[in-house]
Structure 1
């Protein structure tokens, strides 16, 4: 299994903006066959080094992760994220 984690720092990190973006991310659930698990966490500490959201997704293989990356539903989410994010970091690992 492959775990794909992305942390997002948003330009507008008001509770309303974070909620909207969380829902956009969660909107992928059940719409991408290769996506086996999705979780979106909202930061509760709000420290100087915190990011606002964490996306945790799981795939059966690297090929499934690659299919997800180009899937039309994910591409729509990328459009949204490119407008609202200030920064992002990611990690992908075998789990």
Structure 2
């Protein structure tokens, strides 16, 4: 199993904007066959160093992670994220 975790900090950090973007991420569930697990978390402490959203996804292999990365639905999500992000996201990918 491969776990892919991404943290996002948004330009608009209002609760409504964060919730809308979290829903964009959640909408991938059940639509990409190689995506075995998805969890979207919204930061609750809202500290200066905090990121707004955490995305945790799981795949059977790194090849499946690559398939996900190029899947048309995920490509649309990445386009949305480029518009709303304040800078870049950070991620960690590891065997789990």
TM-score band w.r.t. shorter chain: over 0.9
Unaligned runs of 5+ in 1: none
User: When you count strand as a share of all residues, which structure comes out higher?
Assistant: 1
Query: Hey, what does 1:9 align to over in structure 2?
Result: 9
Deviations, residues 18-75 of structure 1 (Å, cap 9, x unaligned): 0100000001000000000000000011112100000000000000000000000000
If the length of structure 1 is used for normalisation, what is the TM-score?
0.98
If the length of structure 2 is used for normalisation, what is the TM-score?
0.97
Query: Hey, what does 2:30 align to over in structure 1?
Result: 30
RMSD: 0.5
Unaligned runs of 5+ in 2: none
Q: How many residues align?
A: 95
Aligned counterparts of 2:27 and 2:75: Cα–Cα separation in 1 = 12
Query: Hey, what does 2:79 align to over in structure 1?
Result: 79
Aligned counterparts of 1:61 and 1:10: Cα–Cα separation in 2 = 29
Aligned counterparts of 1:16 and 1:47: Cα–Cα separation in 2 = 17
